[in-house]
Amino acid sequence: MTAQGHLLFSVTCTLIAHQLQLTPALADASLWQTVPVALASALLPDLDHPNSLLGRRLPWISGPLSRLFGHRGFTHSLLAVGVGIWGLAQFQGPGFISVAVKDALIIGYLSHLLGDWLTPAGIPLFWPLRQRYRLPFLPLKSGGGYETAFCLLTLALAGYWVHGGQGLAAFALRMPAF
């Protein structure tokens, strides 16, 4: 998936997690708090690719990650998710990050893995084992109109579901006044 696809899909996943009340913190949190956090973490797995959006901005991180693990290696695995959750737990509590922010960071990261799982290349879910896992019956070719249409359609459906038929217009109208 492209960076644009990952960003759109992270919003979709955040809306769904909020609607399903996946965690109490996500259910209680404002979407205006969780969506930007999920957007921020949705591109993190591609730090292992020097030409990715984040990789070009953080070459001192991207270069070593790429040399150590290659693209779609460690950062696209459940092990990376576990390390991230452990790391976030070290900064949770009063004066640190809230549970809702932690949960939104995890949703954004997982949305990236789910998006790449939909592509023909798949992801090494159980890295360091090299076997890649992908959705077998609906390969989503990365880039192009099909990916964009898929991401926009899922976002529209999630927005419709979350806002009881009022769709994304209701989401946009609930924007806080600045």
What DSSP string runs through 120-156?
TT-B-TTTTS---B--SS----SSHHHHHHHHHHHHH
Q: Is 80 exceeded by the pLDDT of residue 178?
A: no
Say if residue 61's pLDDT is above 70. yes
pLDDT at residue 164, rounded to an integer: 73
Closest CA to 102 of 112, 92, 94: 92
